[in-house]
Structure 1
Amino acid sequence: MKDYIFNIHDVILMMTVAESILLALLQAAMPAQNRLYGRLLSAFLLVIATGSATTLILWNDQVHIGPTVDQYWIPYFLMAALMLKGPALYLYVASITRAQFTLRPTHLVHLAPALVTCLIMALFAIDSNDLRHLWAMGDEQPERLVTFLWDSAKLVPLVYSFAAVALVQRYRSELKDEYSHFSSTEPRWLNILTLGFFASWTWTMIVHILAKYTSPETADYLGIADNYITFILINGLFTYSLIYAHQLLETRAEETRAPAEDKPSESAIDRVKAAMETDKIYLQQNLNIEQFSARLDLPVKEVSSVINKHFGTNFFEFINTYRVEEAKRLLADPKATEKTILDILLESGFNSKSAFHRFFKRLTGMSPSEYRKDKGAH
């Protein structure tokens, strides 16, 4: 509790509220961004705004809306916001990483933590004083229940942020199963942001636990850091959605991802080998597994099974390993001395200089120029 109306920490909360609302409205007003992920981002920002506003009202005695609202309604809005911010983040991440993602009735389960919390508060008549552990003499003190509510409000977002991080990691893995080339910038920034929220909410949980064993003042100062981190993260998330989210490559829908249960057939293995060694399909730039499968007239799941189970790798590694071998052949060919490194990487199927150099050095232990020199093709 602060001794004066607004200090810098209160101002940060107010800025978070104002900016979250502004960014949510701006997101909603963008026709080009009028997609599900845009609406989910707006929902997440409004939840953050609600949580920050109600936190300020609950803990700052100088901020009032009205006696009834302050005492009886604010706890519901606060707890609902705390319980919904995790699901909102998770669904936003799902909407930009899962192919053909749509909201379904089954997703209503994510409202359960907020609904159960509000129901418990209604049944036991929990108000603002209860949440602040301020009880009048002679009043029944629902201390254990209030402690449970606060514990849940810290744990639920943490669990959902961990699930969001797992979604991003899974998405990055799926990209390697489906594409021979992709930009790592967009997935990397999404990973940083989700890890940021996970770290922030982990810190919140740690501070909450420490508060049980330290002075309120110490816990207060430690907890204030979360307000600043949240302010930074919502700006980062909005910027990401504006610049990068629409550039993310789609991965296959969940129902098409399961690999074939049986061992790949010899026929399928031979066709994949022929496509690589005879047809040299890997020379096609920006090749993905759907195009590859279409060329072989085989189901994607069967081709994926051959690559994963028989060759023991993913599509990204499989294709680019052949490309590196082709580049090695050209670099060592005395007849190709007139060709530049750029010419060779393009002829090998690569379309990114940085990706070519990174992959080539990882597989050979030397740069393309060093390899050419070592093989004597001057």
Structure 2
Amino acid sequence: MQKHIFNIHDVILFMTVAECILLVIFQAILPVKNKLANRLLSIFLISIAISSACILVLWNDDVKLFELFDETMLPYFLVIAQLLKGPMLLFYVISLTEDAFRFTRRHLLHLAPIAIALLWLLGFQIDSSDLRFKTLGQTETEREIANCVWHFIKIMPFFYALASVNAVRRYRISLHNQYSNFSPTEPTWLNMLSLGFLFTWSFSILVHVIANTVALDAPKVSDLFGIAENYVVFILINALFINSVVHTHKLLTTKPEVTKDKTDEKLTDSAIQKVQLGMEVQKLFLKQNLNIDEFSKRINLPVKEVSAVINKHYGTNFFEFMNSYRVEEAKRLLGDSQHADMTVMDVLLHAGFNSKSAFHRFFNRLVGMSPTEYRKQNLNKESKAA
């Protein structure tokens, strides 16, 4: 009877490798606006492909390339791929969300974990048999030395996933501080992907812990968890590609938040007055897609002072500040019988909103009822008074 080289779970690993390679090729021919993000995504996909291929060769005795790679070179490729995917995910998120992100020398520090792991492999002459814990006569100390490699390459991506989730969180805060209108869909997708990889790499640590604690008594337990991890990675790769094609080009970029000195905390009456005039006289909130940079230019006040006035004097952020004025304008139009022929869509557009869902969400939260209910209630009062 013919022996099968791959089982269905190995096929998932093989499909992950093949799909990552195909997506890298597709990324190369796809016209994109953010070339740096595109390159970082490609490197991330390549690292996932190499890591999956190394895992396949390492644990499947029937999959072999050539002896030098299988026994000696494989640990080095595995370590580099495993430790590269974390920084690449973080830099990919940052390049999508920060305006004009560029690499500097300090970013080279993120290669330090790779250098440490490679030196560990070289120093202790760790090969594939050591990583499989199948070296003849392997002592407990040698086993622990090899296991340290697994500890390191499992834990480091987890911290980068945490940093990626935090980067998305800071990005959403910056959006509220710098834009008056933005779609929540794209940031939500990015957040879900970051959380997905955080979950997956947390799960990977769990698999590793199980393999080190119960695997000797119940090897099938750790195998099942490891197989589940491969399936999750495959699903996330597909989600990542969908996001890169459909959503990333719609993401708004933000400028780094200005750190405020103690001198910045003092608000002048002049600064407060300029912001008030911009809202109440110039009615700048009526301009759709207004951001804080454009607002500051219109009122001739530096961005950091505008931000300080809104944050400290009004106790809110730019997004909430602008949309609260827009709601007041919408209330004025909805409650005036002279504008009764305007549809709710006409009202929200005239008030400066560009999203129906955002308008209804803000209006319901600030007024306590829907725009239609508000109009009906106020027009009825007006007709009774007449």
How far, CA to CA, are the matches of 1:321 and 1:138 in structure 2? 69
Tell me how far apart the structure 1 counterparts of residues 140 and 150 of structure 2 sit (CA, whole Å).
18
* Residue 109 of structure 1, CA deviation: 1.1
Structure 1 unaligned spans of 5+: none
Q: Is the 8 A contact 1:357 1:368 kept in 2?
A: yes
CA distance in 2, matches of 1:278, 1:185: 33
Do the aligned partners of 1:135 and 1:141 also contact (CA within 8 Å) in 2? Answer: no
TM-score, normalised relative to structure 2: 0.93
User: Residue in 2 aligned with 1:289?
Assistant: 292
How big is the shift at 1:216? 2.2
Partner residue in 1 for 2:237: 234
Give the equivalent residue in structure 2 for 1:299: 302
Query: Quick check: 1:207–1:223 contact (8 Å CA) kept in 2?
Result: yes
Question: Quick check: 1:337 aligned with 2:340?
Answer: yes
CA distance in 1, matches of 2:344, 2:151: 59
Pick closer, same or farther for the CA change 1:287–1:258 going to 2, 3 Å: same
> Aligned partner of 1:91: which letter?
F
Over residues 44-67 of structure 1, what are the superposed CA-to-partner deviations in whole Å (9 max), with x where a residue is unaligned?
000000000000000011111111
- Contact 2:274/2:301, CA 8 A, preserved across alignment: no
Q: How does 1:339-378 map to 2 (within 5 A)?
A: 339-375=342-378, 376=380
> In structure 2, how many angstroms separate the alpha carbons of the residues matched to 1:226 and 1:138?
28
Note if contact 1:27-1:33 (Cα within 8 Å) is conserved in structure 2: no
| Counterpart check, 1:157 vs 2:157 | yes
Whether the aligned pair in 2 keeps the contact of 1:259 and 1:302 (CA below 8 Å) is no
CA distance in 2 between partners of 1:34 and 1:317 (Å): 29
SS in 2 for 1:32: coil
Hey, what does 1:264 align to over in structure 2? 267
CA distance in 2, matches of 1:294, 1:178: 13
Match of 1:90 in 2: 90
Within the alignment, does 1:57 sit opposite 2:67 as a pair?
A: no
Distance 1:114 1:203 in 2: 22
Q: In structure 1, what is the equivalent of residue 227 of structure 2?
A: 224
Deviating beyond 4 angstroms after TM superposition, the runs of 4 or more aligned structure 1 residues are: 138-141
Task: Provide the C-alpha distance between the structure 1 equivalents of 2:191 and 2:353, rounded to a whole number of angstroms.
Answer: 25
* Residue of structure 2 in register with 1:132 after alignment: 132
1:196 alignment counterpart: 196
Deviation of the 1:33 alpha carbon: 5.1
From the superposition, tell whether residues 303 and 48 of structure 1 become closer, same or farther in structure 2 (CA, over 3 Å). same
Give how far 1:40 is off. Answer: 0.4
- The equivalent of 2:16 in structure 1 is 16
Contact 1:28 1:34 survives alignment (8 Å): no
Q: In the alignment, residue 213 of structure 1 is paired with which amino acid? A: T
- Verify the 8 A CA contact 1:98 1:250 in the aligned structure 2: yes
The TM-score normalised by the length of structure 1 is 0.95
8 Å Cα contact 1:14/1:53 also seen in 2: yes
Q: Is the 8 A contact 1:177 1:304 kept in 2?
A: yes
Cα drift, residue 264 of structure 1:
1.6
- 2:312 paired residue number: 309
Is residue 2:253 matched to residue 1:250?
Answer: yes
SS of 1:118's equivalent? helix
Residue 251 of structure 1 deviates from its aligned partner by 0.8
Aligned-partner residue type, residue 265 of structure 1: T
1:142 positional shift: 1.1
Q: Residues of 1 paired with 2:305 and 2:290: CA distance?
A: 17
Match of 2:40 in 1: 40
CA RMSD of aligned residues (A): 1.6
Residue type of the partner of 2:78? L
In terms of mean alpha carbon deviation, does 239-248 or 318-327 score higher?
239-248
Number of residue pairs aligned between Structure 1 and Structure 2: 374
1:110 is aligned to 110
Provide the rounded CA distance (Å) in 2 between the counterparts of 1:169 and 1:134: 44
Counterpart CA distance in 2 for 1:175 and 1:288 is 9
The letter for the 2-side match of 1:348 is: A
Q: List runs of 5+ in structure 2 lacking aligned partners.
A: none
* Distance in 2 (alpha carbons) for counterparts of 1:342 and 1:140: 72
Instruction: Output one character per residue of 1:193-235: Cα deviation in whole Å (capped at 9) or x when no partner.
Output: 1111111111111121122222222111111111111111111
Correspondence for 2:142: 142
